[in-house]
Amino acid sequence: MIRVILGSVLAGAFIVGLGLIGLAAGGSRSLNAYLTLSGILFAIGMFGFLARRNAISMLMAIELMLNAVNLSIIGFASFDEKLGPSGSVIALLVMAVAAGEATVGLSIILAIYRNKKTPLVDEYDAMSQ
C-alpha cells in the first residue's frame, strides 16, 4: 500500500517535472513552448525508431514523430492569424496520411511475420544471405 502511494506520488512528480519544461519554455501562451514540446517528442520518437528491436515498436515511434510534426504545425497556425485555418487543414491531411501509413506498415509487418515467425527486425536478414 505504501509502495503504491509512493509510486503514484513519484510518477506525479515526474509528470509535473516534465511538464515544467513546457512552462519554462514560455507556457501555453508562447509559440516556443509548443515548438519545444514538439522537438522533444520528435527526439523521443527518433530514439525509439533507431533503438527498438520490435518492428511494431518502430511503427509506434514513427507515429510519435508524425504527432510531433503535427504539434509544431498546430503551434505555428495558432500564433499566425493568416495561417490559422490552413494549419488545421494541413494537420488533418497529415493525420489521414498517417492512418494510411499505419495500415500499410502494419500489414507489411504481418506479412513478414507470417514468413519469418518473429517480429524482431534484427532477424530479418534475408537480403544479407
Partner 1 sequence: MAIGPTIPFTAIPWDDALFVLLAGTMLASGLAVVLMRDIIRCGLAMMVCFGSLAGIYVMAGAPVVAAAQVLVYIGAISVLVLFAIMLTQTKLAPARMAFQTQAVPAAIAAVVLLVVVLLAVGSTTWGGGPDRGDTKTTDVATMLFGPFVLPFEVVGVLLLAAVIGGVFLAKRDRSAADRPE
- State which of positions 18-47 bind partner 1 (CB under 8 A): 18-23, 25, 27-29, 31-37, 39-47
Site membership for partner 1, residue 124 (CB under 8 A)? no
Q: State how far the Cα of 78 lies from the Cα of 90, in Å rounded to an integer.
A: 13
Shortest distance, position 3 Cβ to partner 1, whole Å: 19
Q: How far is the CB of 73 from partner 1 (least distance, A)?
A: 9
The verdict on 10 binding partner 1 (CB under 8 A) reads no
Instruction: Enumerate residues 93-112 that contact partner 1 by CB under 8 A.
Output: 93, 95-104, 106-111
Count Cβ atoms within 10 A of the Cβ of residue 55 and give its class: 0-12 exposed, 13-18 middle, 19 or more buried. Answer: buried
By the rule CB under 8 A, 11 interacts with partner 1: yes
* Whole-number Cα distances in Å, 53 to 47, 57, 59, 118, 119: 12, 7, 11, 11, 8
